[in-house]
Amino acid sequence: MAIDFEIPAEAKALRERVRKWVQDECVPAEKRLLDGADYKTVLGELRKKARAQGLWCPFIPKEHGGMGLGPLANALVQMELGESYLGALSMNTQGPDDATMLTLLEHGTPHQKEKFLKPLLNGEKRICYSMTEKAAGADATGMQTRAEKRGNDRYVLNGEKWFSSAASVADIALVMAKTDPDAPRHQQYSTFLVELPNPGYKIKRNIPTMALEGPLSHILGGGHAEIEITDLEVPAENLLGGEGRGFAMGQHRLAYGRLRHGMHNVAMAQRALDMATKHVTTRSTFGKKLDERQAVQFMLADCASELYIARLMLMHIAYKAENKLDLRQENGIAKVFLANMVHKVVDTAIQLHGALGYSRDLPLAAWYTHIRSQRLVDGPDEVHRWTTGRNVIKAYKATGTTAGACGGDLL
């Protein structure tokens, strides 16, 4: 099926509203925070204003208080939100909460929806996701944390987790643990809703990372926690989606998260390229404006190509999602491309700003240190490329051409 590039007028108008929202409200609010304003106050004011305008939880169905957007309109909105660190937060569509909201919507019992999902959708609570362990990350089937059923009414969990983003600011944790070591590999794990703080879920520390900390760090999720799980008691009614379904639900959650990161990257890369272009139009070296140098124009051109491809990829994937077509191959390709794209564009922007780009007077240095993680999270580059490559071979063996694994159905 060929791609349809037509964007409905309603989605275009919404994109404009969100762009204006980010530029008129979120970007100035970032400045207020940098000037020392209290983040809870600033975020609270932003959220109240956003919600009053109907800009809230974009992809959550209307009956649950969201905007009820489909994949295409949501992609357009997310691409705008990534321009400011406060964009997604202001509309309560920040990670890791957003994908978890989807998991609860799809798999939660009525009790779980009332108790755990409702306050998330209202922006009253935050949730984190504890899957990765020191023992296992890219291959999540190596997780060692155990959950043992005691009687009919509870489970007891023991083990460890690390790199649980936002755990230190979360009110709820979604924890994966092994319930049946004898089941097939992908059916050994279950997911539990854990209320925080909890003595059985001990945050040992926020792991220091290469990402530059700043006044915005607290808002952005409170770091990445290392956690000790000791005799953590979880009521049986907090088991999400049934025993042995943890792994399948985790994959569902990650599939959405991968796209969202990439969408935000487009906005960040665009802002970096705009900054770089503004800079080269005013800066002179060796008697000439930088923007008159062909070498500089080539650098801008390369960034433009990356951004163009990124936008087309996301539009194509959104189109496939709208039409309920299989998008797994495109999703894996785009996840890797978008993480590397933002890396290249921000790096070029730093280069063109010279020492100013390396300084912390601009946001570029902080962005650079934060986005490095994107080539690791939600599956490292190599794991996606491994799957993508296998699909290329499969397509060739099945059809005599690799086209089906390289967007060939676009034609």
Ligand X SMILES: Cc1cc2nc3c(=O)[nH]c(=O)nc-3n(C[C@H](O)[C@H](O)[C@H](O)COP(=O)(O)OP(=O)(O)OC[C@H]3O[C@@H](n4cnc5c(N)ncnc54)[C@H](O)[C@@H]3O)c2cc1C
Residues that bind ligand X (CB under 6 A): 96, 129-132, 137-139, 163-165, 224, 373, 376-377, 380, 382-383, 386
CB 188 to ligand X: min, Å: 16
Q: Where are the beta strands (DSSP E) in 11-145?
A: 127-130
CB 44 to ligand X: min, Å: 24
10 Å Cβ neighbour count for 343? 19
CB 176 to ligand X: min, Å: 8
Q: Which residue is nearest to ligand X (CB)?
A: 137
The answer to whether 239 and 190 have CB atoms below 8 angstroms apart is yes
How deeply is 346 buried, as exposed, middle or buried, from its count of CB atoms within 10 A (0-12, 13-18, 19+)? buried
Q: How far is it, in rounded angstroms, from Cα 171 to Cα 153?
A: 22
- Pick the closer one to ligand X by CB: 71 or 222: 222
CB 123 to ligand X: min, Å: 19
CB 128 to ligand X: min, Å: 6
- Pick the closer one to ligand X by CB: 80 or 160: 160
Q: What is the tally of helices (H) and strands (E) in the chain?
A: 14, 10
- Pick the closer one to ligand X by CB: 24 or 139: 139
Q: Secondary structure of 85-111 in the HEC alphabet?
A: CCHHHHCCCCCCHHHHHHHHHHHCCHH
Residue 161, classed as helix, strand or coil, is strand
- Pick the closer one to ligand X by CB: 71 or 96: 96
CB 225 to ligand X: min, Å: 9
Residue bearing tokens 């491309």: 337
Q: Which of 381, 296, 295 is nearest to 336 (CA)?
A: 381
Report the DSSP pairing between strands 172-178 and 154-165. Answer: unpaired
Contacts of 90 (CB under 8 A, 6+ apart): 21, 25, 26, 29, 43, 46, 47, 50, 55
The answer to whether 128 and 173 have CB atoms below 8 angstroms apart is yes
Within 189-327, residue ranges assigned H as helices are: 246-282, 294-322
- Pick the closer one to ligand X by CB: 130 or 348: 130
Contacts of 130 (CB under 8 A, 6+ apart): 161, 164, 167, 173, 174, 175, 176, 227
- Pick the closer one to ligand X by CB: 37 or 136: 136
- Pick the closer one to ligand X by CB: 191 or 270: 191
- Pick the closer one to ligand X by CB: 96 or 123: 96
Bridge partners, 149 (sequence order): 155
CB 234 to ligand X: min, Å: 17
CB 204 to ligand X: min, Å: 15
Bridge partners, 147 (sequence order): 157
- Pick the closer one to ligand X by CB: 76 or 234: 234
CB 96 to ligand X: min, Å: 5
